[in-house]
Structure 1
């Protein structure tokens, strides 16, 4: 199945769910959820799904970059399925959910849950980041 066919399935699904999906200039699917920009990213595989919440926390200093790297690691460690990471320019933080599926439409049954997982991961990141920037001792598990 081509990305064009997969994209059409996802766009139709999102529209049926009340989202207003648009295909951007790069071929990714853009939609807003709770006022925030999200993307279903183009994939070269029909068994891989990538939901992106980009650039939700800008970084302006080396101190913030260091704290964000640790907070992102912590949020990723404690949240199932989600990844929180610094973008390549190290000036913003992104979150994503990536899934392997048997067929592209399998993700539709879990889509709202995926959005919720992104919310959980970004919430954990923000908690950890706030604690680090305020100088509080972040919650760290030790073995």
Structure 2
């Protein structure tokens, strides 16, 4: 789905809109080899996955921000569960490799303004997930 940017009178793809929203916050995103949008935020790489063009839905991911040590799988699951409960809109999980912890935020948007607002909110959420995770892990050990 292409949405018109009313301010400039042009039609933009979802990827172009996300890039503009991130740039509008003062960051310098780039598109990686897989076509995902990557932005450095608070010394972390956060990826925005656009999915299908016609859906007004976006997933932002903070990949592999912590390792899962052998023998700590149960503790790691408990920490992920605790952080997912405490940090609204964040999903914190052991990824498919079972060797690291990742986090994601997913959202729908209606127009460019809601996209900009959601992108800013998601960056803030994913920016605090890692420190919240390590704090929760220390509490549960």
Normalised TM-score (structure 1):
0.81
* Conserved? CA contact 1:83–1:121, under 8 Å: no
Unpaired runs of at least 5, structure 2 = 3-11
Partner of 1:139: none
Give the aligned CA root-mean-square deviation in angstroms. 2.0
Q: Following the alignment from structure 1 to structure 2, what is the Cα–Cα distance between the partners of residues 95 and 50?
A: 10
- Counterpart of 2:60 in structure 1 is 51
- SS of 1:62's equivalent? coil
CA distance in 1, matches of 2:70, 2:18: 38
Q: Secondary structure at the match of 2:13?
A: helix
Q: For residues 9-60 of structure 1, what are the alpha-carbon distances to aligned partners after superposition, in whole Å with 9 as ceiling and x for unaligned? A: 1112222322111111111001100111011012125221111111100123
1:127 lines up with 2:132 in the alignment? no
Report which of the two has the higher share of helix.
Answer: 1
Equivalenced residue count is: 131
Indicate the structure whose relative CO is greater, using CA pairs within 8 Å and at least 6 residues apart: 2
